[in-house]
Amino acid sequence: MKTILVVDDSQIMRNIVKNTFLLIKIPCSFIEADNGQDALKELEKNPVDLVLLDWNMPRLSGIDFLKQVRANSKYAKLPIIMVTSEAAKYNVIEALQSGATDYIIKPINEKKFTEKILKIDL
């Protein structure tokens, strides 16, 4: 049973992400956070197998969360997928440079999402 941390300030988006996961038929449980700060706290409390991270969020933005997490060696191998509506390539590169494992663009294409998840080898 895998634990997925979903970080997005929109409840709707979080639901969409969770639903997409259910379609892939990988058994998992979800932890949700609606901003970067809370996400960090959740991360400390529970072991997590994958983080799905939104880009634009209040308090602690996606990229700042990313940098903070990677700064901690405990989470060096933690897969983090950026989920973003920002198709701008420069933002994606920045995310990858800051340590994102992969990225996916909203609206989420199920097939692509599946490929990327499977690649991570949960």
In the complex, the residues that contact another protein under the rule CB under 8 A are 89-90, 92-94, 96-97, 102-103
- The nearest distance, CB 45 to another protein, in angstroms, is 31
- The nearest distance, CB 9 to another protein, in angstroms, is 24
Phi-psi region of 59 (alpha: psi -120 to 50; beta: other; left: phi over 0): left
Residue closer to another protein by CB (options 64, 102) is: 102
Select from 93, 33, 88, 42 the least CA-distant residue to 63: 93
Q: How far apart are CA 90 and CA 12, in angstroms?
A: 26
Residue closer to another protein by CB (options 20, 98) is: 98
Residue closer to another protein by CB (options 38, 102) is: 102
Residue closer to another protein by CB (options 65, 103) is: 103
Which residues face 99 on adjacent strands?
A: none
- The nearest distance, CB 94 to another protein, in angstroms, is 5
Please give the single-letter amino acid code of residue 18: K
Q: How far apart are CA 82 and CA 62, in angstroms?
A: 8
